Amino acid sequence: MKDELVRALAYSGNVAVLAANTTRLAGEAQRVHGTWPVCTAALGRALTGAILMASSIKHPEGSVSLVFSGNGPAGNVVAVARPGAEAKGYVENPRVDLPLNDRGKLDVGGAVGREGTLTVVMDTGRGEPYCGKTALVSGEVAEDIAAHFLLSQQQPTLSYLGVLVAPDMRVLRSGGVLIQPLPGCPDEIVGRMESQAEALTSFGDAIFGGAGVEEALCRILPDAGFGVLERTEPRWRCECSPERMEGALIALGPRALGEIIEEDGGAELNCRFCNRSHRFDGPALKGILEAAFQA
C-alpha cells in the first residue's frame, strides 16, 4: 500500500481533518539515518506531524519546521515539510536504546525527553514566517503538537501519531491524524469531537492492521460524514545540492574561505537531513572565492 495524505472536512464542514499513512516515508528516514527503533518512532512521528501541518499551506515555497529539543538522550528531533507532502528530518543521536515504557511501547517520551521545548516555524510563503515555542508536555510528539496548537494558536486539536517498528529495525506501519474545529463550529460538535479523543488510538490500530486512511478515519469518527478535499502521496525529499553547499561556503566570507583553502586544501560538507557529502577540492574552492568576492 502506498503512502497517502488525506485532507478532508467533517461534521457538515465544521471540522478539518488531516490524516496520513507515512509508512514508506518513515522507512526511508530510517534507512537514511540508520535510526534504532525508539528514534525511528520519534522521527517518524515528527515527520508525519510536519506533513499534516504543512498540508494547510497553499504557497509552493511554504514550509513547516518542527524542532523537539528535549532533555532525553536522542537530542534534537527535527522535521521539515512542504506543501505537496514532501518531508525530511533527522535525529541528533539516532542510535538510542531504551527499555519499553510501562505500556509495553517504545519509550519515545524518554528518548526525546519530557522537559524542553517544541519550536514551530511556519512559513506560508507570503511574508514573515511565524515562529512559536512551547514547553514539551510529554515528549511523545503528538501531545506536544496538540499543546502547541492550543497554547500558541488557541486552536483545540486532537492529535494521534504512531509508528510500528519491527525487531529488525524495519518500519512496518506509520501514520497520524490531526482534527481541528473550524471557526464557528457549534459547541455540540466540539463536544462530540472531544468525546472521541480516547478513540484516536483506533486510527493507529487500523493503519497498523493495513487499513487505508479513510477506513481508519471512519473507525474513530463513524458519524462524521467526511468530504475529502485532497489526496497526496507523502515522500522523502532533501533539496541539498552542490549549488546550495556553495552558498553555505560563500556565507562564511572571503577570509574564512581563504583560510580553508590555505590550511585544508579543500572542504567536505555533510547534509544533516540526507547524510550526503559534498566535496570541494582546492581549485573548486578558489573558483568559488574568485567568483563570489573578486568579480
Going by their DSSP bridges, the two strands 266-270 and 277-281 should be labelled as: antiparallel
Whether residues 166 and 254 share a domain: the answer is no
- The enclosing domain of 121 has a CATH number of 3.55.30.10
Out of 236, 251, 269, pick the residue that ends a domain. Answer: 236
Are 179 and 284 members of one domain?
no
Mean pLDDT, range 237-266, rounded to an integer = 83
- 34 shares its domain with 148: yes
- What is the pTM for the complete model shown? 0.91
67 and 152 belong to one structural domain: yes
Residues 60, 123 within the same domain: yes
Q: And the C-alpha cell for 204?
A: 493507529
Position 242 scores a pLDDT of 82
Q: Please state the rounded mean pLDDT for residues 62-85.
A: 96
Same domain, 198 and 268: no
Calculate mean pLDDT across residues 159-186. 94
Residues 137 and 159 in one domain: yes
Domain with 270, as residue range(s), is 242-293
Residue 269 CB contacts under 8 Å (≥ 6 apart), including other chains: 245, 248, 249, 277, 278, 280
Boundary of a domain, candidates 198, 217, 236: 236
Cα 142 from chain centre:
11
User: In the structure, what pLDDT confidence band is assigned to residue 165 with cuts at 50, 70 and 90?
Assistant: very high
Last residue of a domain, one of 188, 214, 236: 236
pLDDT exceeds cutoff 80 at 52:
yes
Number of structural domains (the chain) is 2
pLDDT at residue number 295: 53
Beta partners for 280? Answer: 267
Residues 150 and 259 reside in one and the same domain: no
